[in-house]
Every structure is written in C-alpha cells, then in structure tokens.
Amino acid sequence: MSSVIVRDVSLNFGAVEVLRSLNLDVAEGEFIVLLGPSGCGKSTLLNCIAGLLDVSQGQIFIKGKNVTWEEPKDRGIGMVFQSYALYPQMTVEGNLSFGLKNAGLPRDEIAKRVARASEILQIQPLLQRKPAALSGGQRQRVAIGRALVRDVDVFLFDEPLSNLDAKLRSELRVEIKRLHQKLANTMIYVTHDQIEALTLADRIAVMKGGVIQQLDGPQAIYNRPVNRFVAGFIGSPGMNFLEGQVSRDGAPGFLVGDLRIPLDRYEFSVANAAGAASLGIRPEHVALDEAGAAMPFSLETVVEIVEPMGSDTLVWTTLGGHNFTFRAPSERTLRLRERVTIGFDPARASLFDAGTDMRL
Amino acid sequence: MADTRNGRPSQVFRNINSKVASIPMVLTASVVFVGGTIWTVVHSFTNSKLLPRLNFVGLDQYERLWGANKWLISIENLFIYGVFSLIFSLVIGFVLAALLDQKIRFEDTFRTIFLYPFALSFIVTGLVWQWILNPDFGVQAVVRGLGWESFAFDPLYDQDIVIYGILIAGLWQGTGLVMCLMLAGLRGIDEDIWKASRVDGIPMWKTYLFIVIPMMRPVFVTTLVIIASGIVRVYDLVVAQTSGGPGIASEVPAKYVYDAMFLSQNLGQGFAASTMMLVTVLIVIVPWAYLEFGRRRHRG
Amino acid sequence: MADQATASSVAGFDAVRAPASEAWGPRPRRALSRRNIIIYGTLTVVALYYLLPLYVMIVTSLKGMPEIRMGNIFSPPMEITFEPWVKAWATACTGLNCEGLSRGFWNSVRITVPSVIISILIASVNGYALANWRFRGADIFFTILIVGAFIPYQVMIYPIVIILREMGLYGTLTGLVMVHTIFGMPILTLLFRNYFASVPEELFKAARVDGAGFWAIYFKIMLPMSLPIFVVAVILQITGIWNDFLFGVVYTKPDVYPMTVQLNNIVNSVQGVKEYNVNMAATLLTGLVPLIVYFISGKLFVRGIAAGAVKG
C-alpha cells in the first residue's frame, strides 16, 4: 500500500515553473530521499507534500486520503527543519508538548508521548533546558522528537543535517538510520548531500529543474545513471567523462583521441546507438598494474598529479586528450611522470548521447 | 604603523589624525553633555532668577517646585500621556505590523500612509488636530450636523480630558515609527518557526502570543526605550495644540521648564524642573542599560 | 484521470462544498475570505484615519472663509481658491509683523542646509574614526555621546545659551546651526560608525598595506562607497532640523525665526478673527518640505529610522 502518492503535481510561481508534472509513489515504511542541487525543487516538493505550499495542479494522497486541500496539521505528517525551528522561549519539554496541548490531548497522554519520544532519542536529561542551552546535535534530536510525539505515519525531513559540522553530520546520519529501522515509519528526506542520500535511502529521487531525473535504489543510481546529470552528480570524486564517437563498423567501439575502447561487453539501453557520445567511468572502477592490464581495456599512461588522501590516493592523468582520474591504493607509491598501466571494464561504464545526455 | 584596530593603549601622538578628527565629538560629549548637565543640576540648588547666580539655597527650589500646582499638573499629564502613549502605540503598532507582515498587496502603500505623520513637525501635528477637534467646525460640529444634537467632543476645552486630545494627536504622529520597528522585528523571525507551528497545528493568534512576541522581546524593549525618551520631551505638540490650556490643564514638564526659564524669569525653578526631568529619564534608562550591557558582558 | 481532473476544476468554483476526495490543485480561496476582510478592512480603516488630517488640511486651505464658517471641515471645497496660500506665504501676521511665512521659510533653509552639511561631515569622520581607528578613551566619549542623546534637552538648554552669548552668537543663525550640529552628533555618529564597522576589514587593511593614512582612506575609499548611508543621514537631518521647534524658539530672535516658530505664532497669536484657511495653508506649507523628502525617499527613510533606532 502506498503511504504517500504525488500525482501530476505542478507548481508555478508566477511564470516560473518550479515543479513540472511530478509523480511519486512512496511505499509504506520506505525511506525516500529527494536529492538534487539548489533550486531543483526538492524542498518545494516537500513543502507541497506537507501542505505548507499550494500546488498549482495535481493531487497529493497520504495513506489513501486525498489531502490536497488539507492543512498540514490534518495530513498526518511530522516535519523536521534545517534550522530546527525550536520555540526558543520554551523548554524542550514545552517544545514537545505545545502542539499536543493545543490539540486538547489529555495530560497523561501527552506525558506518555513525551516520555516515549525522549527515550527513543535519548534526550531525557535535556527536558528542562531551553534550546539556547543545547548543542546542534541535541537541538536536532529535539526537533525530531517534536515530530515523533505527533504519532504520525509520515516524517518529512528538510535538509536536517545541513547546519551541522561534518563530524556531527555523520553521527546523526547513523542515528536517523537507526531511528528508521526502529520505527519503520515512512520517511521523505530532502538533501543536497549525495553521501546522505546513498547511505540512508531505500530509493533516491534525483531532481533537477523541477523534474525527477531518476527514481531508483542507491545501487542502480550509482551503477546505471539514466542521464549525464545524474552520473555527474553522484559519486565523489566525480565520474570521468570522455567525449568521442560510438562507431559500429565491426564490433561496437568508442573512439576518443587515438584510442578505441571496445564496447562489446557494454549493455546498451538503446539498440544500435551510434554517433557523438560521452563515455563515463568512475575513478574507483579503474584498476592499476596487473589488475589493470587484465581488464578488457587497458593502456599505459603518465602520472601528472598525485593527491594522497590517506585512505587512498587520487591520481590525475590524461586520456584521449581529457583529464582523467583514478584511485590507487595508498601503499602503491607513484611518482610524477611515472608510466603506469591502468585499465577498466567497459561494462561498468556509462554511455551518454552527446546531444540528449540520455543513457545509451 | 602599529595595529590600531585592537584598541591597544597608544601614546598621545600616535593616531593623531584620528584624535584631531574626533575633537568635535570629544568636546561635545564633555563640555555640552556632561558639563552642561552638571552645571544645570548644580544651579538647581541656587536661587537664580533672571540670571544664574551661585547662591546656594539647598532644596528650596525643589520644595517650591513640588508645591506648585502647575508643576503637579504637568507631572500628572506627563504620566497619563506617557502610560497611554506607551500602551497604545505598542499595541496599535504591533497589530499594524502584524497585519502588514501577512504578505499582502499594497504593503508599501499602507506603510507610506502610516508613516508620513512622522515626517511632520509636532507643530504641524498639533495645529492640525487643534483644528479637527475644534468644537465649532471640527468633529463635534460635523457629528452634530449629522443629527446627534447632543454629541459633545471638545477635549481641547475640557480641563479633565484635554490631555487625551493631545494623546490622540501624539499617537497619530508616533505610531508609524513603532509599526516600522515592530515590522523589522517580525521580519527577523525565522520562517521555519512559522512552518513548524503550522505543522503543529497552532492557530495564528497563539503563535503570535506565545512564540513570536516572546521572541521579539529585544525589539519591544528597544522600542519602549525610544518611545519613553520621546515622551518626556513632549513640548512642541502641547504648545501648538493647546498652549498648555485651557488654563494650565495641559501643562507638561518641558513647557514648565521653558516658561520658567524664558518667560517668568525664574531660572532656579527651570533648573530644578529640568533636573527632575533628567531624574525621570535616568530611572528608565539606567535599569535598561544595566540589563542590556550587563547581560552582554556576562555572556561575552 | 483526466475526467476526474476536469470534473474537479469545474467543481472548483464552489469547491468549498465539494467533497475532499475530489480535491485537486490549489486550495480554493475566496477573494472575500474572512481573513482578507479582517486584514484589508482594518488596514483601510486605519489608513483613512491617518489620511484624514492631511485631507482636512488641504481641503480647508482651499476654501474661502465664508465657506468654512458654514461648517463642515470634511466637505470638499465648493469653490477652490488659492488665496489662503498666497496670504499665508506673504501677508499673514505673526504678532510682530505681517510678512507671512516666506521669511520663516528662507530662515529654515538657511538653518537646515548648513546644519545638515556640517553635522554629517563631522559625524561621518567621527564614525569612521571610531570604527577603524579606535584610540584609548574613544569608547568612553562615544558612550557619553549616546547617553547624551537620551538626556532631555531642557537640562542642557541654558548652559548653551550662556556659551552662545559668550561667543556672541546667541540669537543668530550661526548659533542655531551650531546647536543643531551638536545635538545631531550622537545619532549620526552611531549611524556612521555602524556603517563603517560593517565594511570588510580586509579593504581597510589592504589600503594600509598600500601606505594610505587616515584622511587618504577616508576620502578615497570610505566616502565613495558610503553613498547610501549619506543619503539616509541627510534625510534624517533634514527632517529633524526642519521640524525642530524648541531650539528655534530658544536660540533665535524674531528676524531669524525658523518656519515652525513662525507658524505657531501665526496660528496661535490671538488677534481678532481666526482665518482658519490661512492657518491650514500655513501649516501645510511648513510640513511640505519634509513631506516631499519623505515621499521621494520612501524606503531609505524607513531604513534611516531603523538605523537610528538600533542602539549599540
């Protein structure tokens, strides 16, 4: 059963189309991430689902009920904001119970819910403190708690970790994942950070320009990006792109500079694709030395720049006239201008049509 | 040249340009503000009449001051005007600001209309309202002309309520400023707070009352201080609207000071009265300054 | 699916009554919703209250006296006449002479222009010195200056009278200009100091590295980039000084009375029949300059007030 359905939703601000005819089916208990650069419409979509914004066209269903015209409080949602948005003059306990008191819930019910939420989030010792006396991580937990006490099925997260420093971010990321495993609620999560997306999501919706580019599990998005934008957005360091031609005289191959990369093992999505295209290959899919030579495509190249990163080393070279990066294990010491053999399996590459940017 | 930004103590000739440039400020601060104030306070203990004399008479002037009917009425008027001014301008100003904050059309137009009285002199304000409240031609006459024969509304000729006539004019002039300050404060509230409260299902009036207004405490305090320091000085308005009348029913301390100093040739009274005005201001300012800056030092 | 959408959009006109399962697109909003009525209604009523005096001023000043005596201050003039305006400007009596407001107007101009220029020049240099070139004791004087802004003027009036008399300036335009400069300093210095403090320090440091000194930096770097704040300061000062009454009445003699003082004399000096239309014309004339400044400067005016109101 679908928990949240977005049907043909469009949103215009005046003449600007911010969301274009979006469709999204979120299954019950699923953790879905809306991922994309700033301005892609992900937060806007979340606000529409929440009911904070009116859609220009389309409908929104939550747990089978048409909530397109409902106020946020009647949609069965809880929301967590980037800036926490805790009520500054109230204690943590006050923040958690204010909405419930306003709804007229009996006092013992409120106490019960507050106790349960603070236990799950480990914020019991903080209950009498005010938000100003809390750390960033604690504030975010209280913000999540405020959504928890509402006893709802769907949680909405609007870039909740963006205000935290890197270390806190990874800590809280794990906590959110644990929370999802424990509660099994449906969660819709907005972020621009692809690491958060890849680690947390059951499915990722990559968005650009108000349109969902690809809706898939993290592995599929990583391995088979559906267009060049998705391919370039996911993965750090980014995918290498080589501009060249797909030729079909004899076996299919990719011509770039004076190189020919065999494409016989590549799984084409478009039959008999040919012509100008880009070949994308991730730095981590490139192997060195013997492993490299054993690959279906290998060549010798010159090391230009070496960036040691501790866990491994990022190496820059030139391939077919393009900048090309690959990862080397940190034990393998490389010197500048050293000649080294690298290779990769074209089956792991991605081909994109030069004109449409779509996957071939 | 040494680092000048961290305020390290410097010898007299370092930074000479800056010091020379600051001479006007230094002079003003010390001579006029400090020196002038002290001079006046000191002379309030003398019996100066037409010219200042250093003939000390202790608290004589103050005794006379507090025995003068005119002074007592001024204090009473100031108190009434002050309290009502504060309450009404804060409430009206906040309500108007809240309405304007609702993302409405014509916001600029409304704001321009509410604020233009602030650009006028108090003399202009006083005269205009004197005319509007004129019993023969103004509001009273108009309403009577519409049929309510016994309608009476001439505060400017009624000793008991004349101060309220002045209050109406003062509010008309000053509320626009309060509204601007409140609006700036409202705009500083994080938008996510509104969203969170909407998701929580809190109705708007409760959000204003329990969340937004407490968050705006610093703005309220600042506005209060500004209004208060303006109230003590109310002078031009009274001179224009009622000249202190009818009789002495709308006297205010500032007018008492001027009249004593320049009209009745009683400098000593004028000094005593102005010192009392200073004391009043200090009673408001000192606790506020202590709270504001004391707290900051504590946090810093 | 399309049919459902069409059906809902037709139902959308009285969608308030349509069942929730048919909901599609934006929430139905009536233009005349209760919320809108309360908001726009209140604002309009209040706006009318605010506009009323201006309307009355204009209308009264355009009527002839007989029409005024007939009675309704709110009614528009049946016969428009500009005679009250001419009279107010040229021949109205102030109790001492009958030359109208024109002299007061020019006095005000002669008071305001130098005061504005001098006070802004001094305060901007002061603010710049405080922001970038702090020296020991500077902060103390600055605090005194600010506190001084709260002290009621009445406490300092007489000492200044004495000072001006000693300098031979009591009762002259120059004396009044000095007074306005002195009392304009606290707020203006604060304004400029805050503004210059918000200029990135790197700019200042780079100039120092290039060898520029106090005045060089002021003229070549700070001045050119501070046009907005100068405009705000000018607006604040023009309005404040033009509208002043207290200093005008204490520190001047009748031939140099500013417009506000003259206005008060014209209206409140009891001499026979009150010519209400002339009074209102005179009032309007006096308020005209700051009003024009206000309407032209719009948003800058608001910013000026906010800046003047934010302390520390």
DSSP string, C210-235: TT--HHHHIIIIITGGGHHHHHHHHH
C21 pLDDT tier (thresholds 50, 70, 90): low
A77 pLDDT tier (thresholds 50, 70, 90): very high
Question: Are B228 and C119 a contacting pair, CB within 8 Å?
Answer: no
Rounded to an integer, what distance in angstroms lies between the CA atom of residue B276 and that of residue A78?
58
Scan for tokens 């949680």, then name that residue.
A155
Task: Please provide the distance, in angstroms rounded to a whole number, between the alpha carbons at the two ends of chain A.
Answer: 34
Residue C14 has pLDDT above 60, yes or no: no
Report the pLDDT value the prediction gives residue C7, as an integer from 0 to 100.
40
* Average pLDDT over every residue of B179-198: 90
Report the pLDDT value the prediction gives residue C129, as an integer from 0 to 100.
82
Whether a cis peptide bond, with omega within 30° of 0, leads into A237 is yes
B2 pLDDT tier (thresholds 50, 70, 90): very low
Give B-chain residues touching C40 at CB under 8 angstroms: 104
Would you call B209 an interface residue with chain A, using a CB distance cutoff of 8 Å? no
State how far the alpha carbon of B77 is from the alpha carbons of B74, B244, B260, in Å. 5, 11, 18
Q: A157 in helix, strand or coil?
A: strand
Report the pLDDT value the prediction gives residue B300, as an integer from 0 to 100.
37
Shortest CA gap B118–chain C (Å): 9
CA C29 to chain CA mean position, Å: 40
Tokens of residue C274, six digits: 């009150």
Top mean-pLDDT range of A10-24, A261-275, C31-45: A10-24
- Considering CB atoms only, which of C47, C141, C249 is closest to B113? C47
Question: pLDDT tens for residues B125-165?
Answer: 988 888 888 877 777 777 777 777 777 777 777 777 888 88
C20 pLDDT tier (thresholds 50, 70, 90): low
Tokens of residue C103, six digits: 């002299």
- Residue A147: closest C-alpha in chain B: B200
Average pLDDT of chain C is: 80
Nearest to A23 by CA among A45, A43, A8, A11: A8
- Considering CB atoms only, which of C1, C5, C20 is closest to A66? C20
Q: C25 in helix, strand or coil?
A: coil
**For residues C147 and A229, which has the higher predicted lDDT (pLDDT)?**
A229
Helices (H), chain C: 2-11, 34-61, 65-70, 83-90, 102-132, 138-150, 154-166, 173-197, 201-209, 214-217, 227-243, 246-251, 259-268, 276-297, 299-309
Residue B12 has pLDDT above 60, yes or no: no
Report the pLDDT value the prediction gives residue C308, as an integer from 0 to 100.
57
Question: Are C233 and C181 a contacting pair, CB within 8 Å?
Answer: no
Residue A280 has pLDDT above 80, yes or no: yes
For strands A31-35 and A186-191, give the pairing.
Answer: parallel
Question: pLDDT tens for residues A112-150?
Answer: 999 999 999 989 999 999 999 998 889 999 999 999 999
Question: pLDDT tens for residues B23-39?
Answer: 767 777 777 788 888 88
Q: Is C260 exposed, middle or buried (0-12, 13-18, 19+ CB in 10 A)?
A: buried
Shortest CA gap B108–chain C (Å): 9
B46 pLDDT tier (thresholds 50, 70, 90): confident
Contact state of A89 with B215 under an 8 Å Cβ cutoff: yes
- Chains in touch with A (3+ beta-carbon pairs under 8 Å) read B, C
* Average pLDDT over every residue of B38-52: 81
C310 pLDDT tier (thresholds 50, 70, 90): low
Shortest CA gap A25–chain B (Å): 22
Would you call A50 an interface residue with chain B, using a CB distance cutoff of 8 Å? yes
Tokens of residue A74, six digits: 């009647």
Average pLDDT of chain B is: 82
Residue B4 has pLDDT above 50, yes or no: no
Question: pLDDT tens for residues A330-355?
Answer: 888 888 898 999 999 988 999 998 88
Cα angle vertex C177, ends C176, C182, to 5°?
95
Give A-chain residues touching B192 at CB under 8 angstroms: 81-85
- Of the candidate ranges A254-268, B171-185, C59-73, the one whose mean pLDDT is the lowest: C59-73
The alpha carbon dihedral of B244, B248, B251, B253 has a sign of: positive
* Average pLDDT over every residue of A258-274: 85
Rounded to an integer, what distance in angstroms lies between the CA atom of residue A140 and that of residue A126?
12
- Residue B224: closest C-alpha in chain C: C309
Contact state of C73 with B131 under an 8 Å Cβ cutoff: yes
Burial C132-165 (b: 16+ CB within 10 A, else e): bbbbeebeebbebbbbbbbbbbbbbbbbbbebbe
Helices and strands counted in chain A (H then E): 9, 21
State how far the alpha carbon of B196 is from the alpha carbons of A43, A83, B190, B201, C224, in Å. 15, 10, 10, 9, 44
Contact state of B201 with A50 under an 8 Å Cβ cutoff: no
Rounded to an integer, what distance in angstroms lies between the CA atom of residue B59 and that of residue B169?
37
Question: pLDDT tens for residues B77-134?
Answer: 888 899 999 999 999 999 999 999 888 888 888 988 998 998 898 989 988 888 888 8
In this structure, the dihedral spanned by the alpha carbons of residues B7, B8, B9 and B12, taken in order and rounded to 10 degrees, is -70
C8 pLDDT tier (thresholds 50, 70, 90): very low
Would you call A162 an interface residue with chain B, using a CB distance cutoff of 8 Å? no
Q: Which of residues 252-291 of A touch C (CB under 8 A)?
A: none
Report the pLDDT value the prediction gives residue B13, as an integer from 0 to 100.
55
Q: Which residues pair with A340 in a beta bridge?
A: A301
Report the pLDDT value the prediction gives residue C33, as an integer from 0 to 100.
80
Average pLDDT of chain A is: 90
Rounded to an integer, what distance in angstroms lies between the CA atom of residue B293 and that of residue C146?
14
Residue B190 carries which DSSP code?
Answer: -
Tokens of residue C255, six digits: 């031939």
- Chains in touch with C (3+ beta-carbon pairs under 8 Å) read A, B
Question: Are A41 and A67 a contacting pair, CB within 8 Å?
Answer: no
Rounded to an integer, what distance in angstroms lies between the CA atom of residue A122 and that of residue C76?
72
Nearest to A322 by CA among A264, A265, A239, A262: A239
C307 pLDDT tier (thresholds 50, 70, 90): low
Rounded to an integer, what distance in angstroms lies between the CA atom of residue A321 and that of residue C117?
65
Residue C13 has pLDDT above 50, yes or no: no
Would you call A61 an interface residue with chain B, using a CB distance cutoff of 8 Å? no
Tokens of residue B102, six digits: 């609702």
Report the pLDDT value the prediction gives residue A333, as an integer from 0 to 100.
85
Shortest CA gap B62–chain A (Å): 46
Residue C255 has pLDDT above 90, yes or no: no
Tokens of residue A21, six digits: 């005819």
User: DSSP per residue over B78-124, as a string?
Assistant: HHHHHHHHHHHHHHHHHHHHHHHTTT-TTHHHHHHHHHGGGGS-HHH
C74 pLDDT tier (thresholds 50, 70, 90): confident
Question: Are B196 and A73 a contacting pair, CB within 8 Å?
Answer: no
The alpha carbon dihedral of A150, A153, A156, A162 has a sign of: positive
Rounded to an integer, what distance in angstroms lies between the CA atom of residue C37 and that of residue C55?
25
Tell me the whole-structure pTM to 2 decimals. 0.82
C131 pLDDT tier (thresholds 50, 70, 90): confident
Burial B63-84 (b: 16+ CB within 10 A, else e): ebbeebebbebbbebbeebbeb
Model ipTM value: 0.83
Question: Are B156 and B242 a contacting pair, CB within 8 Å?
Answer: yes
Q: Radius of gyration of chain A from Cα atoms?
A: 24
Q: Which residues pair with A215 in a beta bridge?
A: A205
* Average pLDDT over every residue of A101-109: 91
Question: pLDDT tens for residues C153-174?
Answer: 888 888 888 888 888 888 888 8
* Cβ pairs bridging A and C (under 8 Å): 31
Rounded to an integer, what distance in angstroms lies between the CA atom of residue C246 and that of residue C180?
11
Residue B218 has pLDDT above 70, yes or no: yes
State how far the alpha carbon of C172 is from the alpha carbons of C14, C167, C176, C249, in Å. 73, 11, 7, 12
Question: pLDDT tens for residues C179-201?
Answer: 898 888 888 888 888 888 888 88
The H or E element containing residue B296 is: helix B267-299
